Structure 1
């Protein structure tokens, strides 16, 4: 049986060959974390950091629970991954997140030297990768990860839409 291969929708990076099953698995793990955030009344965003095929850090949005405006899913996952590896650099790691990162999180991704960023849903209002400041396209950014978008986008967008519909 031939493996399904996924090359993703590259946003400024080179194409990366990965099995579709692995891409879906990691996207689903991040989505499950987003569901946990939603159940807690937090904006449903989840993230995982993967190193050599293994999840080494995960997180979901929790700024309200922690009274910390920086407690975004990406930041929480990066903190956990850095602690797991005992370093502030996550070279060779992939970050999977359910929503296009904001400027703060994109900056943290660059500082952590994340190799590849995979995000599900685009965020035209608050995103900073393919929207807004397009941080990784700026000449002053010292590290620019490969960026891939779209795996799990429909599910992530539906979760966000349902979350905000309940609150309006």
Structure 2
């Protein structure tokens, strides 16, 4: 599956989240070149896009672990999500913007490498996702 296609899906989800006045962060789980699940941030403080997408993928695949799956996220995962990623056994994480305050892969600490099971990751900068977040929070400060 082309990464550009997944980026477009993430962007579409971020825009939908914004339209619902939710923080525009999105996540997509892929297995065997097919999208298994996707989500954007929910209303509750622990309803992060990653957590919701992981849970949906486990339900859809009827499994407790996501071996062989990849997770694509518009924003660098926070500590809670990074730990959930490790526990879910996601094989690789791709993210497209950094979270300098709460990021737990590049920006502050790398939780993905703390445990025996190491999750591969790749940061692929895409300014569009940075701008969506900046615009969302700027509109909240007006």
**Where do 5+ consecutive residues of structure 1 fail to align?**
1-18
Does structure 2 retain, via aligned residues, the 8 Å contact 1:110–1:142? Answer: no
Matched, 1:159 2:132: yes
Per-residue Cα deviation, 1:43-64 (whole angstroms, up to 9, x for no partner): 10000000001111111001x2
> What is residue 56 of structure 1 aligned with on the other side?
36
Bigger relative contact order, structure 1 or 2 (CA pairs below 8 A, ≥6 apart):
1
Q: Structure 1 length as normaliser, TM-score?
A: 0.80
Aligned partners of 2:4, 2:45: CA distance in 1, in Å? 29
The secondary structure found in structure 1 opposite 2:74 is strand
Mapped pair 1:145 → 2:119: yes
Runs of 4+ residues deviating >4 angstroms: none
1:126 aligned to 2:102? yes
Larger Rg over CA atoms: 1
Matches within 5 A, 1:35-46: 35-46=15-26
Deviation at 1:146, TM superposition (A): 1.0
Q: How far apart are 1:137 and its partner, in Å? A: 3.0
For 1:105-124, list aligned pairs within 5 A.
105-124=81-100
3-state secondary structure, aligned to 1:130: coil
Where does structure 2 lack aligned partners over 5 or more consecutive residues?
none
Please give the alpha-carbon distance, in whole angstroms, between the structure 1 residues aligned to 2:68 and 2:11.
22
Q: How far did 1:33 drift? A: 0.9
> How many pairs align?
141
| Structure 1 position 143, deviation (Å) | 2.0
Q: Which residue of 2 aligns with 1:12?
A: none
Q: Match for residue 14 of structure 1?
A: none
